[in-house]
Amino acid sequence: MAEPTDRLPPLNALRAFEAAARRLSFTQAADELNVTPGAISQQIRQLEDYAGTPLFKRTGRSVLLTDAAQASLPLVREAFERISEAGRIMQSPARKGRVMVSCAPSFAAKWLAPRLDKFHQLHSGTEAWISADTGLTDFTTADADFAIRYGRGSYDGLKSEKLLDETVLPVCSPAMLEGPDAIRRPEDLKNHTLLHDESTEVDPSCPDWASWLRARKVEGVDASRGPRFNQAILVIEAAAAGRGVALAKQAIAASDLASGRLVAPFADGSTSIDFGYWLVWPKGRHLSPDVREFIKWIKAEAAETEVVGV
C-alpha cells in the first residue's frame, strides 16, 4: 500500500496550476479551461493543501510563482505532454488514414491547399485536414499531428525541420505593366499605390517598402503611403485586384505568379530574409506512417518550388 506521501496530486488541480502558472493569471487560465476564476482558485488551494506550501504569491490582480512552483512547473508540463502523447498512441487505430496539420491562414490558402489534390491522388487512402490558425499551436491541447511555423526554426520542446526559405519581392497585376503609367523600373512606383504587409511576425531582416527602395537607391517614391494589411493573403488579393503594388512573401504569392494573376515587375527585386517555414512537432512524439508519408510528400513539393519572374 502506498504511503500518504506517495499520493498522486489531483489531476484537475495540476491542469489549473499549469495554465495559471503559464499565463500568470487565474482569469486567463479560467478562460482557457472554460471554468470560472473561482474554480481555478479552488483547484489551486487544493493543490497547495496537497503540497503543504504556497504555489503563488498574490499581489493585487497579478500572481507570481513561488520557488516551489517554478521548480515543479517544467515537470508538470512534461507530464501533460507525455499523457497527451500516450492518448495519441491509444487513438492511433482510430486516426489511421488521417493527417492533421496546423499552419497560418495565408500559408494554408495560398501554398498548401492548392497542392493537396496532388497528395490525395498519390495517397487516396489518407485524408489531409488543415487547421488554419493565427496563433502558435499548443500541442498539449491541439489535435494537430504537426504544424508549419514561420520563423527561425528554434522552438523549445519541439523538433523542427526546414521546409522552405522565404524571399520578399514586389508583385502586381499584369495590367500595371501596360498603359501610360506602365511599371518598367522601380522609379515608376511613384505613380502607383504601395500595399503594405503588416503581418504579426517580427523579422528584422524582412524589408518594408522604405528599406527596399533605399537598398536600390530609388528616390522620389513616398514609401509611407498606401493601405496596410495584417494578413499576407490580403496583400496578395489586393495586388491581384489591381489596387497597387505589394511587397509580398514569395511562397504566399507563388501560386498567383504561376497562374498569371500576379507578375513580378523587377527581375532583381527579390530580397532573401532570415525567416522561413518549418515543420514542427513535439520531441518524442510518435509519428504515424500516414504522417511520415505526408511530411515526405510536402518536403518534395517544397523542393520543387521556384521563384517565378517576369
Q: What's the pLDDT tens digit per position in 7-66?
A: 788 889 999 999 999 989 999 999 988 899 999 999 999 999 999 999 999 887 778 999
Pairing of strands 271-282, 158-171: antiparallel
Pairing of strands 62-65, 56-59: antiparallel
Per-residue pLDDT at 4: 46
Q: What's the pLDDT tens digit per position in 154-178?
A: 888 889 999 999 999 999 999 999 9
Query: Is the pLDDT at 1 greater than 60, yes or no?
Result: no
| Torsion angles phi and psi, residue 141, rounded to 5 | -125, -25
- What sign has the CA pseudo-torsion 278, 267, 233, 120? negative
Cβ-in-10-Å burial (0-12, 13-18, 19+) of 299 comes to middle
Task: Indicate the domain borders of the chain.
Answer: 11-92, 97-162+275-307, 165-274
Output 301 or 142, whichever has higher pLDDT.
301
Per-residue pLDDT at 203: 83
Distance in angstroms (rounded) separating the CA atoms of residues 52 and 94 = 42
Q: How many CB atoms lie within 10 A of CB 179?
A: 8
Which of helix, strand or coil describes residue 289?
A: helix
Query: Is the pLDDT at 309 greater than 50, yes or no?
Result: no
Any idea which fold 97-162+275-307 has?
D-Maltodextrin-Binding Protein; domain 2 (3.40.190)
**3-class DSSP string for 9-67:** CCHHHHHHHHHHHHHCCHHHHHHHHCCCHHHHHHHHHHHHHHHCCCCEEEECCEEEECH
Distance in angstroms (rounded) separating the CA atoms of residues 162 and 279 = 6
- What sign has the CA pseudo-torsion 103, 134, 16, 36? negative
pLDDT above 70 as % of the chain: 92
Q: What's the pLDDT tens digit per position in 129-159?
A: 999 887 777 777 677 899 999 999 988 888 9
**Do the domains 97-162+275-307 and 165-274 sit in the same CATH topology, yes or no?**
yes
Distance in angstroms (rounded) separating the CA atoms of residues 24 and 65 = 8
The model's confidence at residue 257, banded by pLDDT at 50, 70 and 90, is very high
Q: What's the pLDDT tens digit per position in 187-214?
A: 999 999 999 998 867 788 899 999 999 9
Candidate from 1-5, 71-75, 277-281 with smallest mean pLDDT: 1-5
How many Å is the maximal CA-CA distance in the chain?
Answer: 89
Which triple of cell numbers denotes residue 147?
Answer: 504544424
> Is domain 11-92 annotated with CATH 1.10.10.10?
yes
Query: Is the pLDDT at 275 greater than 80, yes or no?
Result: yes
Pairing of strands 146-151, 271-282: antiparallel
Across the chain, mean pLDDT equals 88
Mean pLDDT calculated for residue range 294-304: 94
| Torsion angles phi and psi, residue 300, rounded to 5 | -65, -40
Structurally, what CATH architecture does the domain formed by 165-274 represent? 3-Layer(aba) Sandwich (3.40)
